[in-house]
Structure 1
Amino acid sequence: MSSLSLSLRGAAREAADHHVPGLVDHEFASRLAAQDHTLWGPAAEDEASKRLGWVSLFEGSRPLLPRITALREELAAEGVDRVVLAGMGGSSLAPEVICATDGVELTVLDSTDPQQVSAVIAEGLERTVLVVSSKSGSTVETDSQRRIVQQALTKAGIDAQSRTVVVTDPGSPLAEQSAEAGVRAVFEADPSVGGRYSALTAFGLVPAGLAGADVEALLEEAEETMAVLAEDDSSNPGLQLGSAIGGSLSERPAGILRNKLVITDVGSPLVGLGAWIEQLIAESTGKEGTGVLPVIVADGEPELHTDADDVLIAEIIDVDAEDGASVDGDAADTVVSPHTVRTGGSLGAQFMLWEIATAVAGSLLGINPFDQPDVESAKKAARGLLNSPAPETAEPVVDGAVEIRVSGTDKVTGSTVSEVLGSLLKQLPSDGYLAVMAYLDRIAEAHLEDLRPQLAAAAGRPTTFGWGPRFLHSTGQFHKGGPHVGVFLQITAGAAEDLEVPERPFTLGKLIAAQADGDAQVLAGHGMPVVQLRLKDRAAGLQQLTDAVDSLS
């Protein structure tokens, strides 16, 4: 049964009261449900005409369910019950949330860190099926992951093709290649759905269903909720949330957009939903010098920047499924800010709510919420560095186990990690943010995220944390396409043992280094400060970084 709850407070309520009546008069909800591609203006019409299948995909997705169940049972009969998903962005984030919420095992391979990838293929291959998810198959991370895992399966004496399942668009190069190779199964997704809106297509349902999640219930929840979200009514939660995201202003006389959406989970059973919301909003809205930056924080974190003029708080809460759909203008007493969105409910309902709200916010911001023009800039820079590494412009500053490089500014100085960090934080504008970007092993080195709240407290400004290259398909779009008010801390390291990418002229170590350097190059090219810390020794370097962050407080 679907459930959905939404309450708005302060600037969020004011934004909804201001914008929703016009959206209702404009029949925005029903026109969106009818896939009207003119809702975002002439410049967006071509892209929008190809990307609105997500609002009515239920009939197209439901036939996938018996195929998924049958394949899962076949694999289980062969002793294959470990699903490894190779995919990036929307191809991995939705299945990860679905499986974590349902409490089933899914190994998400969305990294090019040699250490993390090596750990995935080090054990359990005898019970592993590889799901390769990519709309075209050309994504360099996913292609590299596929090659490495298939080689490992072959070396283990396993027929790699019989253990490979592909999710892709009809007629894509990956579909053709997979058919020729004779993989176990090919699932074709709806090509009219973009990656970050694809949670309820084959990209979300196949890996999650093979892992054992109840994807049929997920679809039912979403379809029930969409009936509510398609109504041209002032109580429509999608219109209200979208207005809050894209139209909440500060109390200053001129009014500035509250474009830092601080997301915190306050007891929701929807595990990891914030990371999915982060990609959806950042990549959809962060362009043309505007947008909304999601900032994920832990429940109970003391530093939420609740008094900042550009911050709106979004709380993901637990809602009793029997409460049904409701929209309440008064948030509960536990909210941490006078300007707050609180929402909860079933996972299928939340997927639809945030997708509709993002489309609404895009309209209010005057941008196309279906393209991602600045994601390609970092990819292009990385490809260029892979083909022809750029010469070092200057020797790095070396502090113990850490090499320090600074680009994009001449105002960040220092000879130690702590000095350089302190200098970087001084460059933060009053409406700025700090982004920490770690090109490391997000599983074994997950503790690095603990530094984010400390850095946020030291900075006095919203602070994001992203694992590279994963974040390049998420907040990476906002960093480059949104307002250029960020300062950036990039952390990289070599691996004790690199991994060759079969039939490719590079290793994973070279690839992840090119991705990090390419992204830094693009950010610095926009005139934003970038500090790159390269850990010559991972353990020693991480400890040194931890000590340096401690010294900032």
Structure 2
Amino acid sequence: MSTLDVSATGAAAEAVATHVPTLVADRVASRLFAQDHTLWGEAAEDEASKRLSWTGLPRSSRPLVGEVAALRSELEETGYDRVVLCGMGGSSLAPEVICATAGVPIVVLDSSDPDVVRGALTNLDRTVVVVSSKSGSTVETDSQRRAFERAFRDAGLDPTSRMVVVTDPGSPLDEQARGAGFRVVNADPAVGGRYSALTAFGLVPSGLAGADIEALLDDAEAVADLLAADDEANPALRLGAAMAGTDPLRDKLVLVDAGTENVGFPAWAEQLIAESTGKEGTGILPVVAIGSEPAHLYADGTVVRLVATDADDDAGARGDSVVTVAGALGAQLLLWEAATAVAGRLLGINPFDQPDVESAKAAARELLDAGIGAGDEPAFTDGAVEVRALGGEWLTGTATLDTALDDLLARLDPEHGYVAVMAYLDREADADLENVARDLFERTGRPVTFGWGPRFLHSTGQYHKGGPATGVYVQVTTAPAEDLAVPGRDFTFGQFISAQAAGDAKVLADHGRPVLRLHLTDHNAGLAQVRTLLGRGGA
């Protein structure tokens, strides 16, 4: 394969043949890279006019290479060998993939769980913290920042010597951080969070952790002209057409790691695609497959095989709609951003807004103000699990976990439905819970997504509420081992994550989506029950 390659078979190939000639005739690629904000219709013009600078980042981000190198040299006097990134969504997922692919360690803190936050507040004498927030007002990131500032001071360390802030110029965080003496790196304000991999949000934490960010930009720049070309061989046009141009629309995109050197790439692509396309009752649902076999096949799905650059195009291809993608990480970051923008045009939506992410945030804030849990009694308790049912009168009178799940799955559309498992737990300590996605797939024959809360709220959370009303939702929450105060705030981390979970469930229910809420009153005992419940396959 070449440096960047996209091939398609079956329904995906038919979509490419149908739509790419029109996309070429309409000069979509060249207009996109010329930052033409009219490509997505009049309703999207205002937002698009402020969100297209990502197309030029392979060149415009070059000054960051030297800036990060100088910053790293300054920070070396602290003796740091540990980088912690406080960020959400696109601000955290891109650095996670960049560092994993480069083989350098980074701690990504994108949780409000008090036990997870406390676990990150360790080895402070060896730690540099990067606080990333585009708006400068993201509550999760602000709370984490406050916790680290307090922890550094309590340890007798100067926070300003060990913390770096990445934010848009003029944001509240920009002004506050500069006034307090912190190092600040401004990102390009004309780039949205999920398209920000090659901005300061992706490059600063990755570079401080030891990744070669210059090589990353080199790989992206090497394909920029190819992706901007009005040519039927353009990989972005081909991928965008395969994603959103099938007829009828195959709106499930199964992302399979089939040997790609880009470690963890499906999780980054998931948030880009879901948050960009899942709105106005349409969208593409990315499903991150567990394992290397493309076993998740559905009549309404397309399998995307992410392969190594030297792989055989057809090795292991399965299904009647398959796309195979290869390329270096920098090249693929730019490819998928361009392809997602093209998919937005084909779907007739604005790929740069996220209205339902904001609604979940607002609901969480309202619950924090009102007091968590007021009037929120469980329908019943089974062992160490409290059960709540939202989004309609769908729960039967039999008070067991098994029958509650049966009732939820009875609502699943056998042709177009999907199951979303949303776990507000520790994604490292409880990592094996993610395997229940495969078990539920085996049981239902339908796609199953798994999201760690609250990070998925900035990702698939948009699709859950703005996309087609075909999902059923299982939410898992837990009581923390020990709560943790948020310095300078009138709420704790435990209260905050409870509000985030309850707020998300409320918005889903308000949209008529059925939600089964499972709260673990005892973490270990309850988690064992939930694992058994969700993992019983075809039983």
Task: Give the TM-score, by structure 2 length.
Answer: 0.97
Task: Deviation per CA, 1:112-132: give whole Å up to 9, x if none.
Answer: 0111111111x2110111101
Q: Contact between 2:257 and 2:292, CA under 8 Å: does it hold in 1? A: no
What is the identity, as a one-letter code, of the residue corresponding to 2:189? P
Q: After superposition, where does 1:304-323 map in structure 2 within 5 Å? A: 304=296, 306=297, 308-320=298-310
Aligned partner of 1:491 in structure 2 is 476
Aligned partner of 2:40 in structure 1 is 40
Q: Contact between 1:7 and 1:341, CA under 8 Å: does it hold in 2? A: yes
Q: Contact between 2:294 and 2:318, CA under 8 Å: does it hold in 1? A: no
Root-mean-square deviation over aligned CA pairs? 1.5
- CA–CA distance in structure 1, aligned partners of residues 18 and 275 of structure 2: 25
Q: Contact between 1:408 and 1:528, CA under 8 Å: does it hold in 2? A: yes
- Measure how far apart 1:301 and its partner are: 4.9
Which deviates the most, 112-121 or 65-74? 65-74
Aligned partner of 2:408 in structure 1 is 424
- Measure how far apart 1:48 and its partner are: 0.5
Say if 2:520 is the partner of 1:538.
Answer: no
3-state SS of paired residue (2:355): coil
Aligned partner of 1:327 in structure 2 is none
Aligned partner of 1:161 in structure 2 is 160
Say if 2:156 is the partner of 1:171.
Answer: no
Say if 2:262 is the partner of 1:278.
Answer: no
Aligned partner of 1:237 in structure 2 is 235
- Measure how far apart 1:207 and its partner are: 0.3
Say if 2:530 is the partner of 1:548.
Answer: no
Aligned partner of 1:267 in structure 2 is 259
- CA–CA distance in structure 2, aligned partners of residues 75 and 120 of structure 1: 19
Paired residues, number: 535
Which deviates the most, 418-427 or 190-199? 418-427
Q: Contact between 2:113 and 2:494, CA under 8 Å: does it hold in 1? A: yes
- Measure how far apart 1:506 and its partner are: 0.3
- CA–CA distance in structure 2, aligned partners of residues 448 and 116 of structure 1: 16
Q: After superposition, where does 1:477-516 map in structure 2 within 5 Å? A: 477-516=462-501
- CA–CA distance in structure 2, aligned partners of residues 551 and 365 of structure 1: 37
Aligned partner of 1:290 in structure 2 is 282
What is the identity, as a one-letter code, of the residue corresponding to 1:246? A
- CA–CA distance in structure 2, aligned partners of residues 202 and 142 of structure 1: 16
- CA–CA distance in structure 1, aligned partners of residues 94 and 367 of structure 2: 31
Aligned partner of 1:441 in structure 2 is 426
Q: Contact between 2:412 and 2:418, CA under 8 Å: does it hold in 1? A: yes
Q: Structure 1 regions of 5+ residues with no counterpart?
A: 250-255, 324-329
- CA–CA distance in structure 1, aligned partners of residues 378 and 437 of structure 2: 28
Aligned partner of 2:393 in structure 1 is 410
3-state SS of paired residue (2:288): strand
3-state SS of paired residue (1:98): helix
Q: Contact between 1:500 and 1:508, CA under 8 Å: does it hold in 2? A: yes
Aligned partner of 1:326 in structure 2 is none
Aligned partner of 1:24 in structure 2 is 24
- Measure how far apart 1:552 and its partner are: 4.8
What is the identity, as a one-letter code, of the residue corresponding to 1:423? D
Q: Contact between 2:425 and 2:478, CA under 8 Å: does it hold in 1? A: yes
Q: After superposition, where does 1:364-383 map in structure 2 within 5 Å? A: 364-383=346-365
- CA–CA distance in structure 1, aligned partners of residues 329 and 266 of structure 2: 12
3-state SS of paired residue (1:112): coil
- Measure how far apart 1:503 and its partner are: 0.4
Q: Contact between 1:418 and 1:552, CA under 8 Å: does it hold in 2? A: no
Change (3 A) 1:279 1:134: same
Identity %: 59
Aligned partner of 1:524 in structure 2 is 509
3-state SS of paired residue (1:57): helix
What is the identity, as a one-letter code, of the residue corresponding to 2:288? I
Change (3 A) 1:175 1:550: closer
- Measure how far apart 1:227 and its partner are: 1.0
3-state SS of paired residue (1:208): helix
- CA–CA distance in structure 2, aligned partners of residues 384 and 108 of structure 1: 27
Task: Deviation per CA, 1:292-351: give whole Å up to 9, x if none.
Answer: 0000012345741x2x2211111111113xx9xxxxxx9504112121011011000100
Task: Deviation per CA, 1:458-515: give whole Å up to 9, x if none.
Answer: 1220000000010000000000001111000000001111010000010000000000
- CA–CA distance in structure 1, aligned partners of residues 325 and 290 of structure 2: 16
- CA–CA distance in structure 1, aligned partners of residues 173 and 314 of structure 2: 49
